[in-house]
Chain A
Amino acid sequence: MSTDKIVMQTEDLKVSFPVRRAGHSTTVQAVRGVDITLRAGETLGLVGESGSGKSTLARALMRLIPSEGTVKLDGRDVSGLKPGAFRKERKRIQMVFQDPYSSLNPSLTVGASIAEPLKVHTKLSAAERAERISEVLALVGLNADYADRYPDEFSGGQRQRVAIARAIVLNPEILVCDEAVSALDVSTQNQVINLLEELRDKIGLSYLFISHDLAVVRHISDYVAVMYLGEIVEEGPVDRIFGAAAHPYTQVLLNAVPVPDPVAQRATTKLLLRGDIPDPTNPPSGCAFHQRCPFAMEICAQKAPPKVEIPGGGVAKCHLHTSGPVLAGRAISSLTEAGTETGIGAAYDGTPKSTLPAVAVSGNLESSL
C-alpha cells in the first residue's frame, strides 16, 4: 500500500544526554546521526538491542526530548518549531507505548482517556467527542459502551486496543509503536498486530514499528532499519534484509533468533558475539562494531564506514563492501559460503580463512560448540 509520498524524514538526527561517570560530567550520544525515511502507508521496522538508541530516537521524533538535526513531516522541517507551534504538528504523529498497564490513567474511564487528545487539539463539542470515541472504539474492535469503563476492567490486549484508539483519535498520519506488543502473550500479540495492519489499510496510517522481536518485525514491516550504538548500520526492504543481510551485525542478530522448529534450530550454525554493546560515553573509533566483528580489518578501527548502496535496496555501513575482500553489496554470507569447510560459522568461531586478511579474524567470537 505504500506510495512514494514521504510522510516523515530525518536528516542527521542526534540526541545526547549529560551523564556523570566516575565523578566527571560527560555526554552520551544516544543517537548519532540517523537518517530515516517513512513513506505513506508503509511500516518501517526499527530493530536493535537494548541500548542501541531506538526508543530515544522515537522520543526525539515525538519531541519528548531535545535533539539536533532535521525532522521533516510531510516535507516540512519541524525541528526548528517552538513547542507551541509544534503542538499543531503533533496530532500528525502519535505514539503507542509498551506497557498498557501504565500508559492509561487508572482513574479515568476509557472514554475520558480517549477524549483527552480531542480536548487539547480540537474544538469538538462533548456530543461530537462522544461520537468520535465510539467511532475509534469500533475501529479497534471494542464495544462503544466500553467508554464508560475503567482500565482495570480490561485485559492487557484490550488495554492496548484502548491505547491505539487514543493514538488514532486525532487521525494522525504516523503512529510510532514502541515495543507495542512486547508485553503481550503470543495470541493477544497477534490480534493486536492484525489490528494494526487492518488500520493501516483502512485509515492509511504509516508506522514506525520499534521492536526487539525480529519475527514480528519480519511480519509487519515493509522496510527495516537496524540500529547499533546509536547508528543505523543497515537498512533495506524487509525481504532483502532477512534474505541477504549485508552487515555482519544484522547477520548475527538474525541468526540469534531461535526458530520454533527443533530440526531447523539445531541444524543452524550459531554465530555468537562476544562481549556487550560498548560504553556509549566512549564509543570505539572507526566502525562502532569493529571490536566485536569477526571480519574486522585495519581500516575498521580507523575510519567510520560510509553508506554503501546494496543491490536489492537500502544501504549498509560496512567497510567490507568497499575494502579488503570487497563484497560490493553482496550478502555477508557470501564471504565464506563458497567452501563448506570454511562456512560462515567457522568465521564467527575465530578460525582464520585465506580469503580474509590476517588481521580479519582474531577470535572476536566465542565458539558455539
Chain B
Amino acid sequence: MTGAKDPLLNVENLRVEIDFNGAWVPLVDDVSFSVKPGETLGLVGESGSGKSVSAMSLMGFMGRQRGQRLSGTAAFQGKDLLRLNDRELESMRGNEIAMVFQEPMTSLDPAFKVGHQIAAGIRVHQHVTAAQAKEMAIEAMDKVRIPSARVRADSYPHEFSGGMRQRVLIAMAIANNPSMLIADEPTTALDVSVQAQILALLTEMKEDLGLAMIFITHNMGVVADICDRLAVMYAGQIVEEGDVFETFAAPQHPYTDRLLAAMPSIASRRGSLEWIPGSPPKPTDFPAGCRFAPRCRHRLDSCEQPTTLLEISPGRSNRCLRGNTWMEENES
C-alpha cells in the first residue's frame, strides 16, 4: 500500500441508542472505521450485530427519530454526517452517498416507469429539464448493462427480473455520481448466478467510477470476492478490522476465527459443521466486559473487563482482550 490516501469517510465512536421502557439501550456503540476513496469496506456479521443500524445512521435514517439518539462523529468531505440538518441530509443522500438495499422488489415504486423513477432522483439534485434527466437515466441504465436501456426505461418494475431490478437500483444510485455507495445486502435476495453478475457489475463500477463502497453482508464468500477491507461486527461493536487477505489468512479475534471456520465449503466435505455455542446477547443484556466472552472458548476471567478496539499493526485492529495469545490454544 503506497501513497495512503486520506479517508473519504471517518467514523468515530458512533453510538446509536433507543429508548427501551425508559432506559437508553445501545444498538451499536464504540463503532469507528474509515473508508478511503475508491475503497470497499465489508461490514460483516450475523443478524442483529448492528451492521445495518450503523449504515442507516450515517444516512440519517436511524438515530434521529423520537426515542432514538445518536452520538459520535462521521466526517465526510468536511462535514459531520451525524450533525446535518434535514435539508443538508436530503442534498447529501443520493448525491454524495447513495444507498442500495436488499429488496429490489420493494425499493421501487410499482406505479411508475423505471426511467421516470431514476430521472426523478436526478432532478432532486441537478438542475436539468425532464427530457435531460430522462437521457441521463437511460445513460445510467446503459452503464449498469441493462440491455436496450432506451426501451426498458419505459417499463414498469414488475416487468423486470430480480437481477434486472437490482441493476435499476444501482443505476439510480450512481445516476448522480456519488463518491460513496452503501450497499446493504444487495445480493442476498438473488440467485447465485445473478449474484455473480451483480458482484461483477459492482466491481466494475468501483473501478470505472472510483466509487468507495460500504458493503454490508453476512456472506464471507461475497466479502472475499469484492471487499478490500472488512470490519466484523458482533453485538453492536466492531471486533476486528483489517485487510481482507490478511484477516482471512489469520483472523485476530476469536469470533472472526469461529465465523470463518463455520463457513461450509463448496470445495470439500468436512465431518460435521462448526458452530458457536449459545446465541448473541440482546442489546438489553450486553455484558459489561467482552461481549463475545460468554460464547468464547478462549475466555479467561480477565475477559470481564471492558474492551477497546486496538490497532495491532498498521491497518489492523482487534478488540480481543487477549490480543492474539488465544491462538496457541486453537486446536491441537
Contact = CB atoms under 8 A, between A and B. Distances in A.
Interface in A336-369: 366, 368
Contacts of A272: 193, 196-197, 200
Nearest to A238: B269
B196 A186 contact: no
Interface stretch (B114-122, B213-221, B315-323): B213-221
A49 B193 contact: yes
Contact of A265 (B218, B225, B279): B225
Interface in A192-216: 193-194, 197, 212-216
A260 B256 CA distance: 12
Contacts of B220: 260
Contact of B221 (A49, A265, A273): A265
Given A253-B192, A260-B224, A193 B273 contact: yes
A259 interface: yes
A263 B195 contact: no
Nearest to A183: B47
B221 A258 contact: yes
Given A215-B263, A260-B263, A49 B197 contact: no
A144 interface: no
A264 B263 CA distance: 15
Interface residues of B, number: 44
Contact of B248 (A257, A261, A368): A261
B272 interface: yes
B266 A187 contact: no
A212 B266 contact: no
A215 B192 CA distance: 11
B46 A256 contact: no
A270 B192 CA distance: 12
A254 interface: yes
A218 B269 contact: yes
B193 A194 contact: no
A128 interface: no
A59 B192 CA distance: 23
Contact of B145 (A157, A366, A368): A366
12 contacts: A187-B46, A190-B264, A190-B274, A218-B269, A219-B265, A259-B267, A263-B245, A272-B193, A273-B193, A276-B161, A366-B200, A368-B200
Q: Which 10 A-B pairs have the closest CB atoms?
A: A258-B221, A190-B273, A260-B220, A49-B191, A256-B196, A215-B264, A256-B192, A262-B224, A185-B46, A190-B275
